[in-house]
């Protein structure tokens, strides 16, 4: 069993990683809590024992359920049961569940504790850690949300045994990102060790830059996500998040090459790693470059000079401002064909 600490001073919290980790949940419920709301989905086969009186509330399946209406329904359920600020929300599920439940916990009574129990690979390596919560609008992904750090995160690798193959591969897309953030040898590690290594990388970044400041490191976690989020939105979520991020990594490498930041060999490294995880290198047919650019401009702050991307370069990943539409359009033409 691994324990990684997300160091945020008096708001620090542990992330447990290992087989059977969910059985330690009762030890991680905040002291004094007398009730726990378990937010999950009907299709998730894993139950948890919070060690206090608990009641389950369900979020619908599908990315369409990641919306403000779901947050409202949860908060109304909390209110009807009489949940108060000393109680706790426990999110059991993938990134959709932890995002929606985390946001509901952040806004109900202006904030109550939340513990995440991610049951997908994507949730365990990334989505459940770091305190970002949020829901989608029709205009784009994760446009409404809050920073709300959990009291603990429990990554039970046993829950990954029931994942459909495509959902598991989606998690590998997020894991691929960490390879370019400096986590070496991921493909050679046992699964539990690889998850813990990704968690440790994210914990280090979040500890340095909790709220993604303009000059901080946390924005680097968005590598591959600018196009990735746009692909999810414009494909109406036919693409899984990790699939879209994998394509976004290839796009970012090709954009960096067009701007003279990396060479052909580095682009080939990106493509080889994404392909090694059996993830697509190109978007599905039928997507329009103009629409993707419009959605990307919403996802990241743009200036009069152009869009902002996290790109590879001689000094590793960096934020690059003012990338012009011509360079973006030309690179999109490469990956869309």
> What number of H helices and E strands is found in the chain?
11, 11
Q: How far is CA 20 from the centre of its chain?
A: 23
pLDDT at 213: 83
Which candidate in 22, 116, 132, 270 is catalytic?
Answer: 132
Residue ranges covered by each domain of the chain = 2-178, 223-336
Beta carbons within 8 Å of 262's beta carbon, 6+ residues apart: 253, 256, 312, 313
Q: Are 240 and 167 in contact (CB under 8 A)?
A: yes
Which of 158, 167, 212, 318 is labelled catalytic?
A: 212
- Determine the average pLDDT of the residues in 251-270: 98
pLDDT tens string 150-196: 999 999 999 999 999 999 999 999 999 999 999 989 999 999 999 99
Catalytic residue status for 110: yes
Q: Band of the pLDDT at 305, cuts 50, 70, 90?
A: low
Residue 323: how many other CB atoms lie within 10 Å? 24
pLDDT recorded at residue 61: 93
Is 174 part of the annotated catalytic residue set?
Answer: yes
Share of the chain above pLDDT 90, in %: 86
Of 54 and 63, the one with more pLDDT = 54
Whether 222 sits among the annotated catalytic residues: the reply is yes
Predicted confidence band of residue 260 (pLDDT cuts 50, 70, 90): very high
- For residue 337, the model assigns a pLDDT of 82
pLDDT at 299 over 90: no
- Residue 325's nearest CA partner among 298, 301, 299, 304 is 304
Q: What is the model's pLDDT at position 302?
A: 52
Q: Is 132 a catalytic residue?
A: yes
Q: Are strands 152-156 and 140-147 parallel, antiparallel or unpaired?
A: unpaired
Sequence-distant (6+) residues with CB within 8 A of 236 are none
pLDDT at 37: 98
Q: What is the reported pLDDT for 216? A: 85
Q: What value does the mean pLDDT of the chain take?
A: 94
212 is catalytic: yes
* pLDDT exceeds 70 at position 304: no
Q: Which one from 116, 141, 177, 241 is the annotated catalytic residue? A: 241
CATH code that applies to domain 223-336: 1.20.1090.10
Per-residue pLDDT tens digits for 89-125: 999 999 999 999 999 999 999 999 999 999 999 999 9
CB-based contacts of 36: which residues, under 8 Å, 6+ apart? 29, 50, 52, 53, 54, 55, 87, 88, 89, 90
Least confident of 52-56, 81-85, 304-308: 304-308
**Among 174, 192, 210, 243, which one carries the catalytic annotation?**
174
Q: Which of 49-58, 245-254, 286-295 has the lowest mean pLDDT?
A: 286-295
Asked whether the predicted pLDDT for residue 51 surpasses 60, the reply is yes
CATH number for the domain running over 2-178: 3.40.50.1970
Place of tokens 């989905």: 41
Among the listed residues 202, 254, 257, 300, the single catalytic one is 202
CA distance 37 to 55: 5
């Amino acid at each position: 069993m691994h324990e990684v600490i997300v160091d945020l001073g008096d708001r620090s919290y542990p992330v447990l990683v290992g087989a059977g980790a969910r059985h330690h949940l009762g030890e991680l419920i905040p002291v004094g809590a007398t009730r726990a709301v378990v937010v999950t989905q009907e299709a998730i086969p894993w139950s948890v024992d919070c060690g206090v009186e608990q009641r389950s509330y369900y979020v619908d399946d599908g990315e369409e359920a990641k919306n403000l209406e779901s947050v409202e329904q949860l908060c109304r359920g909390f209110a009807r049961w009489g949940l108060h600020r000393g109680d706790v929300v426990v999110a059991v599920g993938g990134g959709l569940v932890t995002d929606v439940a985390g946001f509901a916990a952040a806004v109900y009574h202006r904030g109550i504790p939340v513990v995440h129990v991610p049951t997908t690979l994507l949730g365990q390596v990334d989505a459940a850690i770091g305190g970002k919560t949020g829901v989608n609008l029709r205009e784009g992904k994760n446009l409404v949300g809050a920073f709300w750090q959990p009291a603990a995160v429990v990554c039970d690798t046993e829950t990954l045994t029931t994942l459909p193959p495509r959902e598991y591969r989606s998690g590998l897309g997020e894991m691929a990102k960490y390879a370019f953030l400096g986590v070496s040898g991921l493909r050679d590690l046992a699964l539990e060790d690889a998850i813990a290594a990704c968690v440790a990388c994210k914990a280090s970044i979040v500890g340095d830059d909790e709220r993604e400041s303009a000059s901080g490191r946390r924005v680097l976690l968005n590598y591959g996500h600018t196009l990735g989020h746009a692909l999810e939105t414009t494909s109406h979520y036919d693409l899984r998040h990790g699939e879209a991020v994998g394509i976004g990594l290839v796009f970012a490498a090709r954009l960096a090459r067009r701007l003279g930041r990396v060479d052909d060999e580095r682009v080939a490294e990106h493509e080889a790693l994404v392909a090694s995880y059996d993830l697509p290198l190109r978007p599905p047919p039928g997507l329009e470059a103009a629409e993707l650019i419009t959605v990307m401009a919403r996802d990241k702050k743009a200036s009069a000079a152009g869009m902002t991307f996290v790109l590879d370069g001689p000094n590793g990943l960096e934020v690059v401002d003012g990338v012009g539409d011509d360079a973006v359009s030309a690179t999109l033409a490469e990956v869309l064909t």
